Amino acid sequence: MGSDILDRGLGRSEKALKRKMGGRRPLKRGDFDRLVARAGRDLPGAARREAKKIQKVRSEMDNPRLAARMDPAQLSGSFRRLERAVSHWNPARKRRNMWLNALAGYAFNILLFLGLLAAFLSWQG
């Protein structure tokens, strides 16, 4: 029962991660662990936490005693929270904001330099 939930949830989560990380060209290959590692710190914090919980449960499923203690409701909740966080994640907006922030920094530095240059030139006469 627990492995069914794990397999179905992994399939849905892999599909969602591939779709979000691939942009216009979705990724073709990669299991859940590789996708989470590739996304790294770009994933929202909530999604990273849930992915770590899922990876922990996945490793515990190899041991029969630990697999028997697994709570299916908690696992399916982790998958739901991960999918919700991934669905709200917008990597294109994050890239755009990164470029806009860099351009704003450059513009501020140029204006500051021009202001200091004007002050220096007026001081020198």
85 and 46 in one domain? yes
**Domain membership of residue 110 as a residue range:** 90-125
Mark 94-122 as b/e (b = at least 16 C-beta within 10 Å).
eeeeeeeeeeeeeeeeeeeeeeeeeeeee
| Long-range Cβ pairs for the range 49-54 (8 Å, 24+) | 50/78, 50/79, 50/81, 50/82, 50/85, 51/13, 51/82, 53/78, 54/6, 54/9, 54/10, 54/13, 54/78, 54/79, 54/82
Q: How many domains does the chain have?
A: 2
Over the stretch 80-98, which tens digit does the pLDDT of each residue have? Answer: 999 898 888 888 888 899 9
79 and 28 in one domain? yes
107 and 62 in one domain? no
37 and 27 in one domain? yes
From the centroid of its chain, how far is CA 115?
40
Distance CA 46, CA 78 (A): 10
Distance CA 16, CA 117 (A): 52
> pLDDT value at position 120?
96
CB 82 within 8 A of CB 13: yes
118 and 79 in one domain? no
106 and 61 in one domain? no
120 and 83 in one domain? no
32 and 11 in one domain? yes
Distance CA 10, CA 7 (A): 5
Over the stretch 44-76, which tens digit does the pLDDT of each residue have? Answer: 888 899 899 989 988 888 888 888 888 888 888
98 and 39 in one domain? no
pTM above 0.75, yes or no: no
